[in-house]
Amino acid sequence: MMLDRRTLLAGAGSATALAVMGRLVPTAQAASIQAVGIQLYTVRDIFQKDPAGTLEAIARVGYREVEFGGGGYEAMDPAMLRRTMDKVGLRCPSLHIGYDALLGQFDKSVAMARTLGAQTVVLPYMTDEHRTEAGWNAALPNFNQFARALKKAGFGFAYHNHDFEFTTKPGGLSLYDRLLKETDPALVKIELDLYWAKRAGQDLAALVDRLNTRLYSYHVKDMRADGSMAAVGTGTIDFAALFKRKASAGVRHFYVENDQAPAPYLPDITTSFKTLQTLRF
């Protein structure tokens, strides 16, 4: 499956994105989005079938950063992916590597991250066995160990949330509270998925303020009134207000993500790109 320019441009002039621009332009105190990025899980189906063509299409939309995750990239040739990124002007500041891979294939994971040009490894997801008090007890010390080992190898480390970390509260203390309390704030940074935090009932402004200097990156995905995911700017989350908060000034990367992006995907990610572009300074 090849992605040509005609497919790319379908929906590129999204009226929805243009309509929301006015309400999304913040004041000059907002976080500075140097480059709009995308988490490749958003386009996992087409990426798996045609990784080079997908990266080329993403670059033509205007994205300049990608975060690898999903789409089977772990089984692909990282040198080929890097050559394609270099060719089309993309860079990979961070990538997602699973818990089991970090635990059992650390050296291989580091080599892949280095080839792709990443500077930070993000732990993206925890399986059901770790979503209990006992599972979290076992995992948290490893988070600190991952971070120390990655620092020695020249990489940063961050944790990406879903909703269960906030809603699972053994003994009344959430797993997320324990994550913040029991991991080294100087080494274990946070990739905050704004959608999942809101889905868990969090006050996003208060959470951003609380995380403060631990914030490494945002996953920017919007939420419809019914709770489903939407292209950035077409839902209910006030990103402009969040990005104006003082704590957002230290956020280094803004990755568009939509786990439920409708095929053919490119119109959806173009809408999100255009929306985030309006927040650039």
Which pLDDT does position 6 carry in this prediction? 34
In the structure encoding, which two tokens stand for residue 157, read together? 């480390």
Query: Are 43 and 54 a contacting pair, CB within 8 Å?
Result: yes
DSSP state of 235: S
pLDDT digits (tens, 9 = 90+) for 138-192: 999 999 999 999 999 999 999 999 999 999 999 999 999 999 999 999 999 999 9
Q: What 8-state DSSP symbol labels residue 172?
A: G
| pLDDT < 50 stretches in the chain | 1-28, 281
DSSP 12-72: TT-HHHHHHHHHH---TTS---SSEEEEGGGGHHHHHH-HHHHHHHHHHHT--EEEE-STT
Domains and CATH numbers, the chain: 34-277 (3.20.20.150)
User: Helix H segments across the chain?
Assistant: 5-9, 15-24, 44-49, 51-61, 78-88, 99-104, 106-116, 133-153, 164-167, 175-182, 194-199, 204-211, 239-243, 266-277
Record the pTM. 0.89
At residue 261, the pLDDT reads 96
Sequence-distant (6+) residues with CB within 8 A of 162 are 125, 193, 196
* Cα-based angle 87, 91, 92 (whole degrees, multiple of 5): 135
Amino acid found at 98: G
- Model pLDDT, residue 165: 98
Q: Give the pLDDT score at 30.
A: 58
> pLDDT at position 31, please?
76
pLDDT attached to residue 113: 98
Mean pLDDT over each residue of the chain, to the nearest integer: 90
Q: What's phi and psi for 140, nearest 5 deg?
A: -60, -45
Q: Return d(Cα 274, Cα 160) in angstroms, integer.
A: 24
Give 94's strand partners: 67, 120
What is the structure's pLDDT at 10? 40
The answer to whether the beta carbons of residues 121 and 98 sit under 8 Å apart is: no
Assign residue 227 a region (left: φ > 0; alpha: ψ between -120 and 50; beta: otherwise): left
- The HSE-up count of residue 164 (CA atoms within 13 Å, CB side) is 11
**Residue 133, token pair as written in the block:** 């008090």
Contact 275, 22 (CB under 8 A): no
Contact 135, 172 (CB under 8 A): no
